[in-house]
Amino acid sequence: MNHRHTGIRLLILQKRLPTFRIPLFEALSARYTLTVAYTDGAALDRVSFQQTRLTPTRLGSLVILKGLATYCQNFQIVICMFDLHWLSCIALAFHPRPFRLILWGAGLSTSAGFQRYKHFDWLRSLIARKADAVLLYSEVAQKQYLNWGLPPTQVTVAPNTIATKLPSHYWQRRREGVKNKLVFIGTMAPRKGIDTLIKSFELLATEFPKLELHFIGDGPWKTQLTSLIEESEFSSRMYCHGQLEDDHSLSSIFMEASACISPGQAGLAVLKSFSFGVPFITSRGAITGGERFNIIDGATGHFYDQDLTHCLRQCLINPQDMERMSTIAFHYYWAHRTQLQMVAEFEAAIQRTLNRSS
């Protein structure tokens, strides 16, 4: 890969700037003159790329950014969210434009289960044809777009992932250590099914007296989580760590984790878990942007239909099988889903788009 700076002016449009995207943006800013525009939340500290806050007009769930098309003319490449609620971003696909437009996202409905609602698939297909390229989170979504007749050179995949920096000797120490922790990592929200996880832990706690349950994250449901823990007879074996973003702190928890569990949603936590060699467990119909498809049932994790407790018990009484899945998940991430691979797909999509326009 050519790592020289190209001088190409690149704009990425986002709703907010989560810290987990910093490695992606920093890598792209080493190649392009990058500006990241956003509408919600705060700017990021100590980054090398330009940040610009845009003021949205909201009509219910719909978002309008006045003057966006004019603003985008300052750039050669514009990458924006492929979200039907963001009307001004979608409208860019239908405007005559001097810049190249790449749509980035899950590409299919996700709010109630992956592609459960197909009412607007015709619109997604139309928008994709009007854009210069579409960059999707998963191969599953790409297959759908190819079935709609879009060419594979226009619809490509940058697997949605998250960066991890492992401490020295982490993998060796994990393989040799005791695994007595169950972990939840992510935003504390009702849709995640955290209460289901607590109930299953309580049902298993007596049978497995050394088992612990660890929660990593923050969010609107944290107060309810704290109350549930305080009310539990096993509260001394449940831990809330809050938001942890440095991998050294995370590694100390994941090193002793048998599994990472999120009953209701399987997002980037899947990849973060894999990067530490921890299998992921979720319900078969969990909400996802495509990250769920990294889970291979019985190989990198487990899906369950209704009984999480039974699924967890089977994992706990078969530690050798969990070790096998741990190894598969770990090598899957580091061979196929690193941040470097995501960046490489962005760069390839940008180059193909520029070549096609020349």
The answer to whether the CB of 40 falls within 8 A of the CB of 16 is yes
In terms of Cα–Cα distance, which of 85, 109, 89, 87 is closest to 101?
A: 89
Q: Is the pLDDT of residue 320 over 80?
A: yes
Would you say residue 188 lies in a domain? yes
User: Within this chain, do residues 143 and 196 fall inside the same structural domain, yes or no?
Assistant: no
What is the per-residue pLDDT for 305? 94
Run of H or E residues at 157: strand 155-157
Q: pLDDT for 230-280, tens place per residue?
A: 999 999 999 999 999 999 999 999 999 999 999 999 999 999 999 999 999
Q: Given the structure tokens 């504390």, which residue do they identify?
A: 188
User: Within this chain, do residues 104 and 198 fall inside the same structural domain, yes or no?
Assistant: no
- For the chain, the farthest-separated pair of C-alpha atoms sits apart, in whole angstroms, at 67
- What dihedral do alpha carbons 306, 161, 94, 77 form, nearest 10°? 180
Q: For residue 218, what are the contacts with CB-CB under 8 A and spacing of at least 6?
A: 187, 188, 242, 243
d(CA 79, CA 100): 8
User: Within this chain, do residues 343 and 305 fall inside the same structural domain, yes or no?
Assistant: no
User: Within this chain, do residues 181 and 286 fall inside the same structural domain, yes or no?
Assistant: yes
Would you say residue 2 lies in a domain? no
Helices 308-316 and 194-205: crossing angle, nearest 10°? 50
Would you say residue 1 lies in a domain? no
User: Within this chain, do residues 141 and 201 fall inside the same structural domain, yes or no?
Assistant: no
The answer to whether the CB of 275 falls within 8 A of the CB of 23 is no
Q: How confident is the model at residue 357 (pLDDT cuts 50, 70, 90)?
A: low
Q: Is the pLDDT of residue 1 over 90?
A: no
Q: Given the structure tokens 């980035």, which residue do they identify?
A: 104
C-alpha distance from residue 319 to each of 43, 282, 339, 351, 354 (Å): 44, 18, 30, 46, 51
d(CA 305, CA 282): 9
Task: Provide the residue range defining the domain that includes 108.
Answer: 9-162+338-357
User: Within this chain, do residues 247 and 329 fall inside the same structural domain, yes or no?
Assistant: yes
End-to-end CA gap in the chain: 21
User: Within this chain, do residues 181 and 308 fall inside the same structural domain, yes or no?
Assistant: yes
- Cβ–Cβ contacts within 10 Å for residue 43, how many? 11
d(CA 37, CA 13): 5
What is the per-residue pLDDT for 118? 77
What is the per-residue pLDDT for 4? 83
Q: Is the pLDDT of residue 113 over 70?
A: no
Rounded mean pLDDT, 187-213: 97
Would you say residue 23 lies in a domain? yes
User: In angstroms, what is the C-alpha Rg of the chain?
Assistant: 21
Would you say residue 3 lies in a domain? no
Q: What angle do CA 49, 216, 198 make, to 5 degrees?
A: 150
User: Within this chain, do residues 303 and 196 fall inside the same structural domain, yes or no?
Assistant: yes
Rounded mean pLDDT, 298-321: 97
Would you say residue 96 lies in a domain? yes
Q: pLDDT for 131-161, tens place per residue?
A: 999 999 999 999 999 999 999 999 999 999 9
Structural domain count, the chain: 2
Would you say residue 28 lies in a domain? yes
Q: Is the pLDDT of residue 116 over 80?
A: no
In terms of Cα–Cα distance, which of 138, 136, 133, 173 is closest to 153?
A: 133
Range list of H helices, 131-246: 139-147, 170-176, 194-205, 222-231
Q: pLDDT for 53-69, tens place per residue?
A: 999 999 999 999 999 99
User: Within this chain, do residues 315 and 277 fall inside the same structural domain, yes or no?
Assistant: yes
d(CA 338, CA 316): 29
User: Within this chain, do residues 197 and 119 fall inside the same structural domain, yes or no?
Assistant: no
User: Within this chain, do residues 67 and 209 fall inside the same structural domain, yes or no?
Assistant: no
pTM value?
A: 0.92
User: Within this chain, do residues 216 and 85 fall inside the same structural domain, yes or no?
Assistant: no
C-alpha distance from residue 62 to each of 16, 84, 92, 108, 331 (Å): 16, 8, 15, 17, 41
Tokens linked to 142: 């790409």
User: In CATH, what number is assigned to the domain containing residue 179?
Assistant: 3.40.50.2000
Q: How confident is the model at residue 294 (pLDDT cuts 50, 70, 90)?
A: very high
Would you say residue 349 lies in a domain? yes
Q: Is the pLDDT of residue 100 over 70?
A: yes
